[in-house]
Amino acid sequence: MPTLDEELFPSTPGKFKIDHRSYGINRQFYRFFASTSTMFLWALFLIALTVSYLSFQSFVDSSTRYLSASWGGLQWEKQVRTSAEIHRAGGMSVLVTGASGFVGTHVSLALKRRGDGVVGLDNFNNYYDPSLKKARKALVNRHGVFVVEGDVNDARLLDKLLDIVAFTHVMHLAAQAGVRYAMENPNSYVHSNIAGLVTLLEACKSANPQPAIVWASSSSVYGLNEKVPFSELDRTDQPASLYAATKKAGEEITHTYNHIYGLSITGLRFFTVYGPWGRPDMAYFSFTRNILQGKPITVYRGKNKVDLARDFTYIDDIVKGCLGSLDTSGKSTGSGGRKKGPAAYRIFNLGNTSPVTVPALVRILEEHLKTKAKKNILDMPGNGDVPFTHANISSARVELGYKPTTDLRTGLKKFVRWYLSYYGYDAVQP
């Protein structure tokens, strides 16, 4: 069969007379056909290239998300289950949020020591030096507590944890702390203290079985209340700071979830917690650092030159209150997000009941550090701080068996010993 070239251009010249008119038309048609085919092929090529790129990009994105995820996988699930194993009769399995925070670390260790199952969750944010949080994580790891790095706003992570382990309790300590920082970054308080709390409650109310919840409110909810000592029955509708307002909002939100979904919920109003592994933004911590470094400290006074006073509560006493709350919480009554009966809703003050002025605190630190503080005395700015706190703990005494035993002088001595050791001040002895 002759080829297309042979048909157009015969091999024996002179035997075929070319019709130039028809040849011109055919040549134009051929060029048009050839150019259209080429364009079509280029279009197909570009489409194929685009599809390939999108598929590859999707693969890369998926792989990146998988590789960068800090949780998930068989090994991870095994660590969660192992950490949650209960090693005592009648024990509990507890998910502790904010497990690498100050209170979270101590509560996790106390639970693990007595044989309860504990899994931690912490996002290791940089509100203060994350290296301290990492050190706390290493501490609880050595005692068999696995801490998941993740945010309490991550609903998928919470659902996964509650699916892997049928936690009997949740100890919710994750929060954006600090009164003054709220003036710099208010959104962080809404994100953590309100949105994060709701995300956690949503996960817990849908879990089957539902865990009982104990969570950290704050003495700051008493706000501008002038009646002392502060009682759980006092009004709490006059917050003095955004931090206080988010904690007050948390109390209203938890009441709602208790009422609608049957979640057993206990709120704990902490009063100025201090001790080893504490928060660097707290006054006693920063005072210690500055005194040792020879830097001045700022001591604020209230109206009419009145000294500020706080109901300083040692960490071990707070831990006793937390464990007592877990032990007496009662069960949630819902299932799959539906309430089947009333569940406990409680709020307790956890304080020391012995307020101490800030100048007295400084004098105790000077004694333990054997160094005189350089003090700047200033009037308290309008940053949300309140002039005093004083806890009425009668309800916690009766229902939780709560009884604080550590006075400020003893507690600060323990803190200073830890501080000197942790930061390497071997030459200075309290």
Strands of the 117-122 sheet, one edge to the other: 146-149, 117-122, 93-97, 169-172, 212-216, 265-270, 345-350
Residues, the chain, total? 430
pLDDT tens across 62-86, in order? 333 333 457 899 999 999 999 999 9
pLDDT tens across 391-429, in order? 999 999 999 999 999 999 999 999 999 999 999 986 444
**Least confidently predicted of 245-249, 276-280, 324-328, 385-389:** 385-389
State the Cα–Cα distance between residues 197 and 174, nearest whole angstrom. 9
Let me know if 66 is a catalytic residue: no
pTM across the whole model:
0.83
Q: For residues 140 and 99, is the Cβ–Cβ distance under 8 A? A: yes
* Element housing 293 (H / E): helix 283-293
pLDDT tens across 252-296, in order? 999 999 999 999 999 999 999 999 999 999 999 999 999 999 999
State the Cα–Cα distance between residues 179 and 276, nearest whole angstrom. 21
Of 128, 243, 274, 314, the active-site residue reads 243
CATH top-level class for 74-273+314-353+390-406?
alpha beta
Residues 6+ apart with CB under 8 A from 215: 170, 171, 172, 173, 197, 250, 254, 265, 266, 267, 268
pLDDT tens across 140-163, in order? 999 999 999 999 999 999 999 999
Tell me the backbone φ, ψ of residue 270, rounded to 5 degrees: -75, 140
What does the pLDDT read at residue 3? Answer: 41
**Least confidently predicted of 14-28, 152-166, 275-289, 346-360:** 14-28
Query: Which long-range contacts (C-beta less than 8 Å, at least 24 apart) are formed by 45-54?
Result: none
* Element housing 122 (H / E): strand 117-122
